[in-house]
């Protein structure tokens, strides 16, 4: 992605919220808590440190963040200029 595209996305509050939720939701689900249970910064820090030390939580968080970051509507394969309605690649 181009640098300008990232700047535009980071200035969009919806995108930022998506990323925050993509990171927090798997953590909260694995820990069996809700956002209301995180009432102090030390609790949030402990949860984040636990996530970094647990490969399963880290993997879930990375997959969730990847899903929020990628744009499945853009096709950037080399040599492919168009995709027809059946998903077949065509060149012009």
DSSP state of 63: H
Report which of 82, 40, 63 is spatially closest to residue 92, judged by C-alpha positions.
82
Note the pLDDT of residue 33. Answer: 93
Note the pLDDT of residue 28. Answer: 92
Per residue of the chain (92 residues), give pLDDT as tens: 577 788 888 899 999 999 999 989 999 999 999 989 999 999 999 998 988 999 999 999 999 999 888 876 766 655 555 555 555 555 55
List helix spans (H) across the chain. 3-10, 13-31, 41-53, 55-69
């Amino acid at each position: 992605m181009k640098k300008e595209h990232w700047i535009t996305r980071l200035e969009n509050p919806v995108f930022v919220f998506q990323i925050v939720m993509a990171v927090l939701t798997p953590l909260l689900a694995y820990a069996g808590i809700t956002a209301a249970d995180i009432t102090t910064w030390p609790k949030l820090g402990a949860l984040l440190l636990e996530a970094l030390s647990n490969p399963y939580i880290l993997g879930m968080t990375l997959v969730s963040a990847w899903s929020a970051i990628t744009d499945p509507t853009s096709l950037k394969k080399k040599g492919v200029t168009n995709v027809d309605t059946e998903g077949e690649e065509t060149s012009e």
